[in-house]
Structure 1
Amino acid sequence: MTTSQIETSGVGGAGAPGQGGARSGGARRPPRIHRAWFVAAVAFVTIIGAAAFASLPGLLIDPLHEEFSWSRGTIGFAVSVNLALYGITAPFAAALMDRFGIRRVVAVALTVIAAGSALTVVMTAAWQLVLYWGVLVGLGSGSMALAFAATVTNRWFVARRGLVTGILTAAGASGQLVFLPLLSWLVEQHGWRPAAITVALSALAVVPFVWLLLRDHPADVGLAPYGSDEAVPKPAPVPGAARRAVSVLFRAARTGPFWLLAGTFAICGASTNGLIKTHFVPAAHDHGMAITAAASLLAVIGVFDVVGTIASGWLTDRFDARRLLAVYYALRGVSLLFLPMLLAPTVQPPMIFFIVFYGLDWVATVPPTIALCREHYGEDSAIVFGWVLASHQVGAAVVAFAGGVARDVFGSYDVVWYASGAVCAAAALMSLVIRRA
């Protein structure tokens, strides 16, 4: 099928959406590029703009420790609150999008992220870090979580869902790539406050694009979803967003695949956002590496994450998602076991190999996980994935906190690297146990 074999709605109200009525000038030719791709592009830019907040926590640990004398465990706790709320908010955000529309939810979320990040520059106590960065940014970022990408994909696409999921997932890595070197330079040259203000402004800058260009449903513009010849009526707003999110959780929790997907994704979060994104920079700094060099390595992860995630989406359209997950987790676990031997004051070729490999595998797990949610839970899959994502962030939160405590207690992060490698092996086995729908 070409990018659009679907006609827009009739002129003068004749005909249903996608079924043009009589026209004085004959049938209007369908657009060369389906509107769904423009919606996906706006979502991509939105996720990039919101991704700045995810680049900052690992850069704040040492500066906040030095300025306020807060322990790394205390700072890690604020990050863990952020990560946990990010995950817990996601399923409710997916339900809110069904109730109020994508545009409103995303615009409010970006504003809350900006407010939380800006308020951190005036904080004087650790509880304020927990409130501003942990609670406000956590709630806002949770509403911008991967459930947003899943909702856009489910509504606007029938074909190429795996590919689009990979592209939108990669947007977060692109944001990391764009902002991380800049933020690390700001932190090193001018302190952490200008970096926090940059995050706030970046989130606010995206709000007009969301409000003016994003559309909630193909029916809003008289089109069928990409890959379908049949127009889909826009569903009525679903009241009781919180109640629906909880009821979907209860139904999904009665099935085995939900717990296996939640368990594997918790390990995914522990080994990415909780471990590498939060603690890689301070761990490299412990070995004498400059902060900007370590941050640049994380940015390289962002480069290859784009490639790996889009490739994973392409593979998910063609191969068994369970086997893909098993391979991803097994390889990730092996790589983490070698990391303690690679950290050094300067960047050596083995470290570059690790960074490239970890980048390719970073969130390659997302497209097959979303595909399995869709396979097992149908129309509720976006909300189910939101709950699975909550487990991802709970796993990340546990390791963000535990990693800081381990550094305070043992004087290094080695035990955390080894433990994370072991649980990744367990995730690989769990993936193979998931049954087919």
Structure 2
Amino acid sequence: MRLQGSGVSAANAADTGASASSHRDRRIVVTAVGVTQIFAWGSSYYLPAVLAKPIAAETGWSLTFVIGGLSLGLVVAGLASPMVGRTIERFGGRPVLAISAVLLAIGLLILSVAGSLLVYLGAWLVLGLGMGAGLYDPAFATLGRLYGQAARPAITAVTLFGGFASTVCWPLSAFLEAKLGWRETCVIYAMLQLLMALPAHIWALPREESAKGLGPGNAGAAAPVADGRSGVGIFVLLATVITLGSVLSTVISVHLLTVLQARGIALAAAVGLGALVGPSQVGARTIEMFVARFHHPIWTKLVSTFCVALGLLLLWNGIPIISIALVFYGAGIGLESIARGTLPLAIFGAAHYPAIMGRIARPSLLAQAVAPTIAAALIEAVGIDGMLAALVFAAIGNTVLTALLFLLLRSRFPPFP
């Protein structure tokens, strides 16, 4: 049994064996999934960043509970993820992503009329189901089921679109809230889900019968390349490094401005520095798109963990040029999103990829739900520097575990690229 390679041969087969129309169809699929990812993230995960304070101000609810709605949604998404993965494996991603748009729309509409905290939290229960069925992991699973081992370029392209979610939706949310109010903003996002995302999923994605990962030029749903005891060990290690990466990115995304202000940086300047993270993500993903054919995804994961660890270490040390730390960190989490989708596909093959992605998503999303609260408690207990020290320790540990995964793969599945 051997480890699947970097996907070079599969990609070449796709290039030479598929017709011009199939290439066009693939571009349509990737564009549709990518654009809908922008608004799936923007109308759920990134929504409280802009609307939490206006919601709390109007309703009088505690800001902690308002932001806690997102944590509740992430818990629901994590619990639902294995079922979502199995459903995509059985029926394809088209119905699942379409249902996710409907769920997000329903959740947003409930949110828009919430008159009590109970109804507000109920809206996040529905939004959590929508996130579990419609964010990166289900999108990656859909592409893996469609294109098999040749899905790697498509996954990378979708992360490029997704990298613009906060860039597009934070200003849009702020504009809509200022002009119309937070309730009307939720209604508009709900309409985008129903009138843009839902038709895009139904129209652009192939029906179930053609979604086998066995189309012309696709490296189809090959048997898993890591199974038995070795497969379990590799899966646990893989899920651990992906979960740690998610925790680090979630904590920094929530507390970055607090960290920068603790370094004596004014709020306006901190916001400007924080804006470096997004372009760094997109830049790293763009480079990966051009060089991915030359290496296995484990290298992408290794570089991502190293960059995140280096960025956090520099931030902890309080280097004079904070921007350098944020560029390294942004590049690292940008590559992390790609490795999250491509590494499981390369290790385990395409046959059960959707179900595997669902199993990986559960601990990751559950950890993301509680990580910001734990980080806030650390800040209160040991200060910003103590919290950053814990993050640096976790990031270095994640790099070591990823290196261990690399060595494990190389020793058990030679030859290894």
Question: Shorter chain as normaliser: what TM range?
Answer: 0.7 to 0.9
The answer for the alignment partner of 2:48 in structure 1 is: 57
Q: 1:430 deviation in Å? A: 0.6
1:427 lines up with 2:398 in the alignment: yes
Q: Distance in 1 between matches of 2:190 and 2:385?
A: 34
The answer for the alignment partner of 2:267 in structure 1 is: 289
Gap change, CA 1:158 and 1:211, over 3 Å in 2: closer
1:181 lines up with 2:171 in the alignment: yes
The answer for the alignment partner of 1:303 in structure 2 is: 279
The answer for the alignment partner of 1:394 in structure 2 is: 366
- Aligned to 2:348, the other structure's residue is in SS state helix
1:265 pairs, out of 242, 258, 261, with: 242
C-alpha deviations, 1:66-110, integer Å up to 9, x for none?
Answer: 455555543443222222323332332122223343222111111
Unaligned segments of structure 1, at least 5 residues: 9-29, 234-249, 344-348
**1:257 partner amino acid:** I
Q: Distance in 1 between matches of 2:72 and 2:49?
A: 14
Q: 1:224 deviation in Å? A: 5.7
Q: 1:113 deviation in Å? A: 0.9
Contact kept, 8 Å, 1:34 with 1:226, in 2: the verdict is no
Residue identity (%): 20
- Aligned to 1:215, the other structure's residue is in SS state coil
Unaligned segments of structure 2, at least 5 residues: 1-11, 222-226
Contact kept, 8 Å, 1:170 with 1:306, in 2: the verdict is yes
1:36 lines up with 2:26 in the alignment: yes
Deviates more, 1:365-374 or 1:385-394: 365-374
Q: Distance in 2 between matches of 1:313 and 1:187?
A: 36
The answer for the alignment partner of 2:153 in structure 1 is: 163
C-alpha deviations, 1:125-168, integer Å up to 9, x for none?
Answer: 444333212x1111101101323332333233356533222111
Q: 1:320 deviation in Å? A: 4.3
C-alpha deviations, 1:204-257, integer Å up to 9, x for none?
Answer: 22211221222146837x9963534x9x79xxxxxxxxxxxxxxxx98997111
Q: Distance in 2 between matches of 1:139 and 1:32?
A: 32
**2:336 partner amino acid:** T
Q: 1:425 deviation in Å? A: 0.9
2:108 pairs, out of 104, 108, 117, with: 117
The answer for the alignment partner of 1:199 in structure 2 is: 189
Q: 1:426 deviation in Å? A: 0.7
Q: Distance in 2 between matches of 1:255 and 1:411?
A: 37
Q: Distance in 1 between matches of 2:270 and 2:181?
A: 17
Q: Please give the root-mean-square deviation of Cα atoms over the aligned residues, in Å.
A: 3.7
Gap change, CA 1:85 and 1:281, over 3 Å in 2: farther
**2:368 partner amino acid:** A
**1:428 partner amino acid:** T
Spell out the pairing of 1:127-166 with structure 2 (5 A cutoff): 127-133=118-124, 135-158=125-148, 160-166=150-156
Q: Distance in 1 between matches of 2:370 and 2:237?
A: 19
**1:215 partner amino acid:** P
Q: Distance in 1 between matches of 2:272 and 2:181?
A: 17
Contact kept, 8 Å, 2:146 with 2:213, in 1: the verdict is no
Gap change, CA 1:279 and 1:124, over 3 Å in 2: farther
Number of aligned residues: 387
Q: Distance in 2 between matches of 1:194 and 1:312?
A: 39
The answer for the alignment partner of 1:276 in structure 2 is: 252
The answer for the alignment partner of 2:310 in structure 1 is: 334
The answer for the alignment partner of 1:16 in structure 2 is: none
**1:427 partner amino acid:** N
